[in-house]
Amino acid sequence: MIDRMPTTPVPRHAKVKAKHWPTPEPADVVAPEAEDIQELREEAKGCRRCPLWHDATQTVFGEGPESADVVFVGEQPGDQEDLAGKPFVGPAGRIFDSILDDAEIDRRKVYVTNAVKHFKFEPRGKRRIHSKPNAGEIQACRWWLDKELDLVKPNLVVALGATAAQSLLGKAVLITKMRGDVIEREDGLRMFVTIHPSFILRIRDREDKEAERDRFLQDMRKVKGLMRA
């Protein structure tokens, strides 16, 4: 059994220099000069920056107001997101929505996206099993995430899991060491690190699952406080 957190500790702050990966420019990719998120979303529909587009149903781009104060970044679309063309609509998305609601964060007022915009999977019979994107795929898709952040201009970005944190910082990180930290990137953007809600789904023990849900709720309450700061 995991003890629950009775209070919300003050997030630690740190400054981290984000590594700038050189992003390849394939010959068949034209870098768009989108002036808003809708234009960027349309450009992303034809993305061929890495091979993941070939087996995915479609590009799953970010969603939310361009004036959002906070951007949530997940790993990649899942099976249901790939079919729907929208981020965080599957089982992990339902947990995410529920906890945002408990933390009094209106999802309609935040921008939600993923580090990787195409679903990477392994076929097993009729099922498509999630497969973790590699460093090259994260690197190729970081170009789109950077463009999203440039256009939205949030006051805070929340990394949901290791892949999101790696994309935002340009290097692999341990979520267990950085969870709950507020990091200031080299560009001045504040970044909050926590788990991906799918982690809660994978916990089998009922009490442990509920405790982790409570901990994630505490993280989202910290985010709520940072949104007001």
pLDDT at 34: 84
User: What residues in the chain have per-residue pLDDT under 50?
Assistant: 1-10, 16-30
Distance CA 78, CA 196 (A): 13
pLDDT at 142: 95
Distance CA 89, CA 101 (A): 15
Q: What type of residue sits at position 174? A: L
pLDDT at 229: 66
CATH fold of the domain at 12-228: Uracil-DNA Glycosylase, subunit E (3.40.470)
pLDDT at 3: 43
Residue ranges of the domains in the chain?
A: 12-228
Distance CA 217, CA 142 (A): 27
pLDDT at 28: 43
Q: Which residues contact 18 (CB under 8 A, 6 or more apart)?
A: 168, 169, 170, 185, 186, 187
Contact 138, 73 (CB under 8 A): no
pLDDT at 32: 55
